[in-house]
Amino acid sequence: MVRPISAGKSFTLQRMKPLENYSLRNLNTFGLHASARYYASAESLDELQELVEWAKKQQLPLLPLGGGSNILLKDDYPGLVLSINLGGIECLPSGEGKKILRAGAGVEWHDLVLFAIANELGGIENLSLIPGKVGAAPIQNIGAYGVELKDVFHELEALDIAQNKTLRFNASDCRFAYRDSYFKNEGKGRFIITSVSLKLASKGYTPNLSYGGIRQKLDEMGVKDPGIKDVSDTVIRIRREKLPDPSETGNAGSFFKNPEIPVTAFEKLHAAYPDIPHFRLENGMIKIPAAWLIDRSGWKGRKLGRAATHHRQPLVLVNLGGASSAEILNLAARIQKDVEKKFGIALTPEVNII
Ligand code: FAD
Ligand code: EPU
């Protein structure tokens, strides 16, 4: 039963009182059943600090939550789940044909993309339609269609949970890498991101069409000299064709990362599988699409209980309806085992397992 806690707790606003035994089913895009011992929403920094203080006094663990589109909840959460809903977008001058776009952590990521496009600011149009909120974007350095957050990142502000004070992080502090950052490693569980600032182009911008599928789609649509809106529309089309809509089919996007392997290991695989798709990286490693490895291991579109891989994109694990977290994890483990056996490659999850 959901009820506000009362005894002896005085919050500035009635609205932000933590609720007890709160179902998280509609707050994770996998649609998994799990509940939070306590749940609250913070809409300002003051509210967030007050809630953090409250959780610390009760010695409760804290889980900041955005759109729940990159989590798998294994069990009920024993502490305070905090929906981060700090809003607001502001645009500041920056010189050299650039502008700084600063957004509260609770802004929907795609709304920020649409704001940038409406204001003719280039740099994040390739990241159109990624689900979730601004505050989670730096956690895994979101990326799609040839662009990553790090390419346009300026700085972020985050609340240091131990001190209950905000700190600023520049790009090098964040240690961004492919689907990775400081906040998934040493900084894990220590900070709540409250705002993110991006440096976007206001003049002399050429859209990034490096990802094969974008150029091809633009050609099909007869667009010769694409602007940022054309690129965004194209990315949206590609995504809608390929990826399941979480409002219809529970999923959290790519379940695993695309593995990076050394050249020597790649050469052996290439000899055995001459059609293996691959991308040479600046660090000398070779990236292999996990979707291909899963597909070639016979897992594309296959079901296991109420969990399955998506029929168009097997890197996306889906909840066919009523699946438990154990069913999703069991499917993931079976895929990992078969890919490892066939290709000698260990797939690592991209989704945050909580
Ligand atoms: P959540 O799932 O709520 O949280 C993710 C993690 O971040 C959790 O560990 C959480 O505790 C932490 N967190 C959340 N907010 C904060 C905060 N303010 N401060 C500190 N920690 C926080 N990702 C890509 O990179 N590229 C894609 O192309 C892509 N496509 C997707 C397509 C689909 C259909 C789906 C369902 C997901 C896709 N994703 C993609 C994954 C997901 O959209 C991103 O990882 C997104 O940034 C998650 O945002 P969220 O607000 O939903 O985060
Ligand atoms: N492929 C197959 N079989 C399939 C589907 C794909 O073999 O059924 C192979 C093809 O060779 C294809 C390749 O996999 O060229 C790559 O597929 P896709 O272009 O769909 O991209 P991806 O590598 O699977 C990554 C990201 C996505 C991001 C897209 C576009 C990761 C883990 N995933 O997917 O991000 O949207 O590129 O840039 O890096 C996410 O992180 O949740 C996510 C969806």
CATH code for position 294: 3.90.78.10
Task: Tell me, yes or no, whether 13 and 110 share the same domain.
Answer: no
Please indicate, yes or no, whether residues 196 and 97 belong to a single structural domain of this protein: yes
Buried b (16+ CB within 10 A) or exposed e, 192-219: bbbbbbbbbbbeebebbbebebbeebbe
Whether the full predicted model's pTM is greater than 0.85, yes or no, is yes
Q: Is the pLDDT of residue 4 over 80?
A: no
What was the pLDDT predicted at 246? 97
Q: Specify the residue with its C-alpha closest to ligand 1, atom 38.
A: 253
Q: What is the pLDDT of residues 222-243, one digit of tens each?
A: 999 999 999 999 999 999 999 9
Q: Predicted confidence band at 96 (pLDDT cuts at 50, 70, 90)?
A: confident
CA dihedral 158, 51, 22, 139 (to 10 degrees): 10
Six token digits for residue 190: 């220590």
32 located within any domain: yes
Q: Are residues 66 and 135 in the same domain?
A: no
Q: How far apart are CA 132 and CA 110, in angstroms?
A: 8
How confident is residue 21, by pLDDT bands cut at 50, 70 and 90?
A: very high
The Cα-based distances of 354 to 27, 68, 292, 308 in angstroms read: 14, 11, 27, 20
Nearest ligand, measured from the Cα of 73: 1
Q: Which of 179, 195, 297, 327 is catalytic?
A: 179
Which of the four pLDDT bands, split at 50, 70 and 90, describes residue 11? Answer: low
| Residue 350 is among the residues annotated as catalytic for this protein | yes
When comparing pLDDT for 10 and 122, which is higher? 122
Specify whether 346 is located in the same domain as 280: yes
In this structure, the answer to whether residues 104 and 49 fall within a common structural domain is: no
pLDDT at residue number 196 = 98
Number of CB atoms found within 10 A of residue 354's CB: 16
Does 310 map to a domain? yes
Of 84, 119, 150, the last residue of a domain is 84
- Average of per-residue pLDDT values in the chain: 95
**Side chain identity, residue 245:** D
254 is catalytic: yes
**Residue 29: CATH number of its domain:** 3.30.43.10
Q: Is the CB of 212 under 6 A from ligand 2?
A: no
Among 69, 83, 232, 254, the one annotated catalytic: 254
pLDDT at residue 200 greater than cutoff 90: yes
Nearest atom, ligand 1, residue 27 CA: 3
Domain contains 213:
no
Is residue 279 domain-resident? yes
Same domain assignment for residues 196 and 299: no
45 and 145 together in one domain: no
CB atoms within 10 A of CB 332: 21
**101 shares a domain with 58:** no
Residue 95 pLDDT level (bands cut at 50, 70, 90): confident
CATH at residue 156: 3.30.465.10
Predicted pLDDT of residue 14 = 63
Residue 167 pLDDT > 70: yes
Looking up tokens 């994890």, which residue turns up? Answer: 329
Closest residue by Cα to atom 31, ligand 1, is: 253
Mutate to test the pocket of ligand 1, among 26, 30, 44, 69 (most ligand atoms within 8 A of CB): 69
* Residue 66 beta carbon below 6 angstroms from any ligand 1 atom: yes
Q: Is the CB of 138 under 6 A from ligand 1?
A: no
pLDDT of residue 2: 41
Q: Does position 55 have pLDDT exceeding 90, yes or no?
A: yes
The verdict on 190 and 272 lying in the same domain is no
Q: Is the CB of 295 under 6 A from ligand 2?
A: yes
pLDDT in tens, 142-151: 999 999 999 9
- Say whether 112 sits in a helix, a strand or coil: helix
Distance 27 CA to ligand 2 centre (A): 25
Separation between Cα atoms, residue 258 and residue 280, nearest integer Å: 13
Task: Please work out whether the CB of residue 269 comes within 6 Å of at least one atom of ligand 1.
Answer: no
- pLDDT band, very low/low/confident/very high, at 6 (cuts 50, 70, 90): very low
Q: 278 is in which domain, residue-wise?
A: 250-353
CA distance 192 to 44: 12
Give the count of beta carbons closer than 10 Å to the beta carbon of residue 49. 17
d(CA 232, CA 222): 15
Percent of the chain whose pLDDT exceeds 70:
96
Average pLDDT rounded to a whole number, residues 170-178: 98
Q: Render 152-176 in DSSP notation, one character per residue.
A: TEEEEEEEETTTTEEEEEEHHHHT-
The residue among 44, 66, 84 that closes a domain is 84
State whether 68 and 97 are in the same domain: no
Please state, for a pLDDT cut of 90, what percent of the chain lies above it: 93
Q: Please give the distance, rounded to the nearest whole angstrom, from the Cα atom of residue 70 to the centre of ligand 1.
A: 4
Q: Count, in order, helices (H) and strands (E) of the chain.
A: 8, 21
**How large is the average pLDDT for residues 75-85?**
98
> Cβ(159)–Cβ(94) under 8 Å?
no
51 within ligand 1 shell (Cβ under 6 A): no
What does each C-alpha distance from 275 to 94, 188, 286, 293, 296 come to in angstroms? 46, 38, 14, 12, 11
179 part of the active site: yes
Asked if residue 326 belongs to a domain, the reply is yes
- Tell me phi and psi for residue 67, to 5 degrees: -85, 0
On whether residue 25 sits in a domain, the answer given is yes
In the prediction, which pLDDT does 212 show?
82
Same domain membership, residue 170 and residue 104: yes
Whether residue 188 is predicted with pLDDT greater than 50 in this model: the reply is: yes
For residues 300 and 312, is the Cβ–Cβ distance under 8 A?
Answer: no
Mean pLDDT within 239-265: 97
Overall domain count for the chain: 3
Domain boundary among 61, 84, 107: 84
Give yes or no: residues 121 and 162 share one domain. yes
pLDDT of residue 7 exceeding 60: no
Does the beta carbon of 142 sit less than 6 angstroms from any atom of ligand 1?
A: yes
Q: Is residue 233 part of a domain?
A: no
Query: pLDDT digits over 296-305, tens only?
Result: 999 999 999 9
Query: Is residue 145 situated within a structural domain?
Result: yes
